[in-house]
Structure 1
């Protein structure tokens, strides 16, 4: 029985790692041990930052809505409460876009939200 040689498998694995490390600085791009660590860490950063990106965009949308709503004489929390009471089912992404690009439409939404708020006694 002939022995099994694994040169092609190892080379393919190494090639895959080194291809992923393309563009890295120093030995991170051409030394398999260091490249493997660098690619692993890059994957961890990518996984984490896909989650962080969602948080960052939500925060940006809230800031934009808040700025536009304060110009209309409401706070963000009052506006969102009014939106819920009025039954407006637009998400923050869409409302932020309307606030930035379609001022008249957003003003109409703010008016609806104001009307839905209970009057302060």
Structure 2
């Protein structure tokens, strides 16, 4: 029986998976079945952790704002600060407030005074 030359599609699929696994170590870099399993697992983890990263950063920002408000007696708590910001319709997101609280707390105090003076 003569040899049948196969196509290139399977090889192209494997090399594509191998390119995703370029930083893996050991068998996860060398064996095709292990490569496909590990790459699939890495994609699942990255998809899951993109959502988790958003949650984690939001929690970090809230913690920083809360700590700064309590230390500098801005409104005595995070919830009161956010409530007054929304009541006065000042558009400052939590990321910006956390940056202000960490880098320049005097500006956070200025923001709280602005909130108190707006009618």
Structures share fold, TM-score greater than 0.5:
yes
Residues 1-121 of structure 1 correspond to what in structure 2 (within 5 A)? Answer: 6-73=6-73, 74-114=76-116
After TM superposition, the score normalised by the length of structure 1 is 0.84
- Show structure 1 runs of 5+ residues with no match: 117-121
* Residues 69 and 110, structure 1, Cα contact 8 Å, conserved in 2: no
Shift in Å at residue 95 of structure 1? 0.6
Shift in Å at residue 90 of structure 1? 0.4
User: Structure 2 CA distance, aligned partners of 1:104 and 1:94?
Assistant: 14
RMSD of equivalent CA atoms: 1.8
Shift in Å at residue 104 of structure 1? 2.1
User: Structure 2 CA distance, aligned partners of 1:8 and 1:83?
Assistant: 61
- Show structure 2 runs of 5+ residues with no match: none
User: Structure 2 CA distance, aligned partners of 1:107 and 1:5?
Assistant: 75
User: Structure 2 CA distance, aligned partners of 1:67 and 1:113?
Assistant: 19
User: Structure 1 CA distance, aligned partners of 2:79 and 2:108?
Assistant: 16
Aligned length: 113
